[in-house]
Amino acid sequence: MTRAVEKRDAEGKGSLYRMLWRWHFYAGVICIPFVIWLAVTGSIYLFRPQIDAWIDRDMVALERVGQSASQQAIVSAATQAVPGSTFAGIMLAEAPDQAARVLVSDHGARTRVYVHPDTLAILKTVDEGGTWDRWIFKLHGELMMGNIGSIMVELAASWAIVMVATGLYLWWPRSARGLAGVFYPRLGQGPKRFWRDLHAVVGVWVSAFALFLLASGMPWSLVWGNGFKMAREWTGTAPVSQDWTIGPQNEHAGHDTSQGGHDMAAVDHSAHGGATIDQIVTRATSLGLAAPVILTPPTRASQYWWARSNAQNRPQREDVALSPMTGEVAQRDTFGGKHIIDQIVGVAIAAHEGQLFAPINQVLGVLTALGLVTLCVSAFVMWRRRAPDGVLGAPPSIPDARIGTGLAIIIVVAGVLLPVLGVSLVILAVTERIVLRRWTPARRWLGLA
C-alpha cells in the first residue's frame, strides 16, 4: 500500500511539473517579444533626467546680456510666439543662466516656449505631446497603438508574471548537489547544459526585480488600472487627483497645467491689488520644491496659483496653492499626506522609473532589463535546439492530466487579480477544447495529441 501511494504521489508531482512546464513554455511564446521590447524601451526611459539635460544643454548656460525682464513680459513674449495661445504655466528656473520655460495652450495642445530671460528672444518651441520622452512613454506602454496597444502590453505583462512564477517552480532545486547550476552556471559541460544553466540561473537572480517591475507597472495599464481605480472608489479610498495616468493618456494628466482643460490667460493682479506674476514666481521659488516645478495660474477650476513638483522621485512631490491676492500659501499637499495606497503606488512607480534612489536604482533597472533579455535569448536558443521540424516544440501534454484543487484556486485568483490574464485563459481553454483538439494538423503542431 505504501509503495502504491508513493508511486501515485510521484506521478502526481510529475504531472504538475509537466503541466507547469507547458504553461511556462506558452507564456514565453506569448510574451518574449514584448518582454524584449519593454526591457529596451524601459531602459531608455530610466535615464530620462540625463537625456532631458542633454537635450536642453544649450538652454541652461545662456549668455546673459543685461537685467532680467519681468515674468509678465516673458509670459507675453511666449504667448505671442504661439498665435492664439493662452498662458498655461511657468516651469521654474533651476539655474540662474537657464532659459525661461513657459507653457502655453492652444485648444488643449500645449507648447513649451523657451524665452531668453534678458532679451525676450524666442530660443525654441517644443510640442509637449511630441517630446522624445512622450514617444518612449507611448512605445513602452502602448506600442503607439492606443487602447489596443495598452491591452497588448498588459496581456504580455500578465503572462510574464506567469512565466516568472512557473520558472521559479521549475528551477526549484529538488535533487541538486551543491550550488552549481542553481545559483551559477556550470561551464565546460557542453552547450545544452550551458544554455539551460544560463536560463535558470539568470532567471532566479532577476525574478524578484522582474516581478516588481511587472507589478508596479500595472497601475498604468488600461484594464487593471481602471479596475484598481473602481475598487478604490467603491471602498472610499480614491484620491481627489490621481498622481499617475491610466492607459494611453497624457502623462501630465495628474498634474495638468490647464486645471482640467479650462485655460485662462494670466493677468497682472496688481491692477486689482493682487500679487503680480513676478511676486508669485518669487514666492513659488522660495518654497524649495523638488524640480521640475510647474507654476500654473488661476483658472475656472481653481482660484489659486498652484506650484506643483513633478519630480520623478514621487515621494518628493508637493503641490502648493498660493493666494492670487497675497501670494501666501493657502494649501500644501505633501506626499506624506496622501492615502497609504497612493504612497505605496508612488514609491513603486518611482522605483519603476529608476528615480527612487538614483543612480543605483537606474543601474538595478538596467541589470534587470539585461537579465530579462538574456532569459528571452537563452529560451529561444533552447527552444530551437530541441524543437523537432514541423511542430512548435511545446512540452508534450499529459493525457487525462487533472488540475488539483489548490492549483485551481491559484488559477482562479490569478485570473481575478489579473483580469486580462483571466480572459485570455478562458479564450485559450475554449479554443483548445473546441477547435484545436478537433483539428488534427493544429493538434499535432501544438503537441496536443
Q: Which of 301, 329, 358 is the last residue of a domain?
A: 358
Which residue(s) pair with 127 in the sheet?
Answer: 111
343 and 326 within one domain: yes
Using a CB cutoff of 8 Å and minimum separation of 24, what contacts does 235-239 make? 237/339, 237/341, 239/338, 239/339, 239/342
* pLDDT tier for residue 401 given thresholds of 50, 70 and 90: low
Question: How far, rounded to the nearest angstrom, does the alpha carbon of residue 59 sit from its chain's CA centroid?
Answer: 28
Q: Between 16 and 98, where is the model more confident?
A: 98
Could you tell me the residue range of the domain that residue 165 belongs to? 2-46+137-216+360-446
- Domain membership of residue 222 (yes or no) is no
- If one counts the domains in the chain, the total is 2
Tell whether the model's pLDDT for residue 270 goes beyond 60.
no
pLDDT (tens digit per residue) in 167-204? 999 888 876 666 776 787 888 788 888 999 999 999 99
* pLDDT score of 398 more than 90: no
pLDDT in tens, 343-367: 999 999 999 999 999 899 999 999 9
**Pairwise CA distance, residues 286 & 98, whole Å:** 17
**Same domain as 364, residue 338:** no
Question: For the residues 373-383, what does the mean pLDDT come to?
Answer: 93
Assess whether pLDDT exceeds 50 at residue 124.
Answer: yes
Residues 308 and 264 both lie in one domain: yes
Residues 77 and 65 in one domain: yes
Burial class (CB in 10 A: 0-12, 13-18, 19+), 292: middle
- Is pLDDT above 70 for 80? yes
Q: Looking at residue 57, what is its pLDDT?
A: 92
Q: Which three cell numbers stand for residue 25?
A: 513554455
pLDDT band at 400 (very low <50, low <70, confident <90, very high): low
Lowest mean pLDDT among 221-225, 250-254, 275-279, 392-396: 250-254
Residues 251 and 298 in one domain: yes
Judge if 278 and 419 occupy the same domain: no
Amino acid identity, position 67: Q
Asked, as a colleague might, if the bond just before 388 is cis with ω within 30 of 0, I would say: no
Look-up of cell digits 548656460? 61
Which alpha helices (H) appear in 292-438, and where do they start and end? 340-352, 360-386, 405-417, 419-430
Residue 99, burial from CB neighbour count under 10 angstroms (0-12, 13-18, 19+): buried
C-alpha cell recorded at residue 190: 557542453
Q: Is residue 345 part of a domain?
A: yes
Residue 268 has pLDDT above 50, yes or no: no
89 and 117 fall within a common domain: yes
Strand partners, 125: 113
Residues 261 and 345 in one domain: yes
Give residue 108's identity as a one-letter amino acid code.
G
> What pLDDT does residue 296 have?
95
Do 334 and 127 touch, CB atoms closer than 8 A? no
Longest distance between any two alpha carbons in the chain, whole Å: 97
Same domain, 316 and 188: no
Final residue in a domain of this structure, among 327, 358, 389: 358
279 within 8 A of 178, measured Cβ to Cβ: no
Q: What is the rounded average pLDDT for all residues in the chain?
A: 86
- Beta bridge mates, 87: 104
Per-residue pLDDT band for 13 (boundaries 50, 70, 90) equals low
User: Is it the case that residue 6 has pLDDT exceeding 60?
Assistant: no
Q: Give the confidence band of 265 by pLDDT, cuts at 50, 70, 90.
A: very low
Same domain, yes or no, for 321 and 266?
A: yes
CA dist., res. 210 & res. 208, Å (int): 5
Q: What is the pTM of this model?
A: 0.85
Same domain assignment for residues 437 and 366: yes
